[in-house]
A and B are shown apart, each in its own frame.
Chain A
Amino acid sequence: MSLVEARGLTKIFRRPEKDPGLRGALKHLVQRRFKDFRAVDGIDLSIEAGESVAYVGPNGAGKSTTIKLLTGILVPTAGTVSVAGLNPNADRVANARNIGVLFGQRTQLWWDLPVRESLDLLRDMYDLSPAFYKQRLERLDAVLGLGELLPVMSRKLSLGQRMRADLAAALLHQPKIVYLDEPTIGLDIAVKDRVREFLRELRADGTTLMLTTHDLGDIEDVCERIVIIDEGRKIFDGPLAEMKDRFARVRRMHLQLAEVTPLEKLAERLPEVEIVGGESPTEVTITFDRFRYTAGLVIAAVLDVVEVGELHLDEPAIEDVVRKVYAGELLR
């Protein structure tokens, strides 16, 4: 069995159905109507030990709810979850020792206490030995620069500092499985890079990672597998490379032509292709569907018309794919 295994995972929230305004609110007091909302709808998911999985989807797709179901915070409406052989809800305490969780939008640090005190409290909760604790703090200092944050009160931390301290808090007990819900949200480039570097190291140590994010840089830097969900359903699950192969249909070729050439002449040779001029008159960008044309065919067609100086081909960007998913353009 996989380390993390979910079968038919479903969570239905009951939401009050109210008409707008005060009238609606008052009406609801006497006439209570509710509507079911399926946040997560029959998700199957298996994660092997040591895998790093990006869990991606538009806002409200059910990413955070899935994480909350996998970590035992929420009780599933239907379906089963098993994490390292435990039911995260029924065996909550035992499961808590195996996992580390970070919700990027929230802190688990005690607001009025220095970071050091928050970590000390967590040390007590996880029963860490003094030697292990010391060693972990040193390690976290090395990768997250934790040392300078220890004496600072949580409420005085900047967002970037807070995220570093929160990462340390989530990983203090060296969990086997780490769930990160938007670990780079709101961070500047420098801190983002630092966090990603840290996540890569975590992966190299053999930690199993699952992260949700809207930042595609996080995915490309850290994950090898991507799961895309929308409206609570899984629409893709596989290696990052496969996703690009399958969904990144559009490729873009940039050409430096030897002489100025009317774009129509190129278009005649290449039907159903988008041809756009560049900054200088000899620059041309050709966008084509890689299931209709190969790069070779495109070049051959252009060479029939004009000599080509330089050319380069854009890598298929996962951004394009995910954008399409978000816009609802991919078929189920």
Chain B
Amino acid sequence: MRRVLRIYRRSLGAHLRAVLEYEADFWILVVAGLLFQVLNLVFLSAVFAHVPALNGWSYPEAVLLAGTFGFINGLGPLFFEGTWRLARRINHGELDYPLVRPVNVPVQVISGGIGMHGFGDVVGGGAMIGWGLANAGIEWTPVKIVGGLVMLVSSATILLSLIVIGNAVSFWVGGPHPVFAMTLIRTADMAKYPITIYGVAVRAAFTVLVPYAFISFFPATWVLDKEHSWIGLLTPLMAAYCVWLARTVFRAGLRRYDSAGH
């Protein structure tokens, strides 16, 4: 495991250096990420300028929720960007070399790139989390601090697993673009608002079918002691399930891989 992590780190580091080869690109992406989070904030402020609370969520609480989502969403490009290139690599038969190296293939795939727009998301989202936590009037206890961190990690794990699952579907689809994963992850965007604003069907789907609600909503309800906050405690379990699913789907896909040409 340590070896795998070391290889992952080195590979990601190499790609970071590669990205830094194109300096203009780097800055544009970082600024774009930040700007995206600022836009989120502007949108929320506009809504809350008209209503004092949204389905029982105050402005700082909504900022915390959106910030958490933005932060976690930024981890994808920063640490899992290579996953988005899987469809192309399958389509072009470019997994041949990873398959003949003595390293777990998902690690080689996941670390095969880095997207700097994630940097802006993480910084912007992080700032929103900080401001939200400070202004939401939370009573801090040691349990809440540790629990909050565990949930942040679990939430991130869920989203990253979804990225892997969505992209691994490309083993079956075969096209050069990760259309399924795009749909899956774009839809996750809806989870940056309190899911109580959606109808019951959407809520059920986001909880059971695809666990978007566990990415930010349920963990936040636990931290903020909202109604049904106990569901938030299931977040680590959901994360474990998602990791298992991602692993299983990827493995099954790899057995289907049939390279290109013959």
Contact = CB atoms under 8 A, between A and B. Distances in A.
A302 B93 CA distance: 59
B14 A96 contact: no
A206 B100 CA distance: 21
Nearest to A75: B255
A113 B102 contact: no
A194 to B, nearest CB: 23
Contact of A65 (B7, B99, B101, B262): B262
A165 interface: no
A113 B261 contact: no
Contact of B100 (A62, A101, A105, A113): A101
Interface in B74-99: 93-97, 99
A71 B261 contact: no
A129 to B, nearest CB: 14
B97 A64 contact: no
- How large, as a class, is the contact surface on chain B? 20 to 34
B101 A106 contact: no
- Number of chain A interface residues as a range: 35 or more
A13 interface: yes
Interface stretch (A118-126, A261-269, A317-325): A118-126
Interface of A: 13, 39, 60, 62, 64-65, 68, 71-75, 92-94, 96-97, 99, 101, 103, 105-106, 108, 110, 112-113, 117, 120-122, 124-127, 153
A117 B259 contact: no
A99 B97 CA distance: 12
14 contacts: A39-B262, A71-B99, A73-B99, A73-B100, A73-B257, A94-B102, A99-B100, A106-B93, A110-B14, A110-B15, A112-B18, A112-B21, A122-B101, A126-B101
Interface string B1-34: 0010011001100110111010000000000000
Q: Which of B18, B21, B102, B104 has the most CB of A within 10 A?
A: B102
Contact of A124 (B10, B15, B94, B95): B10
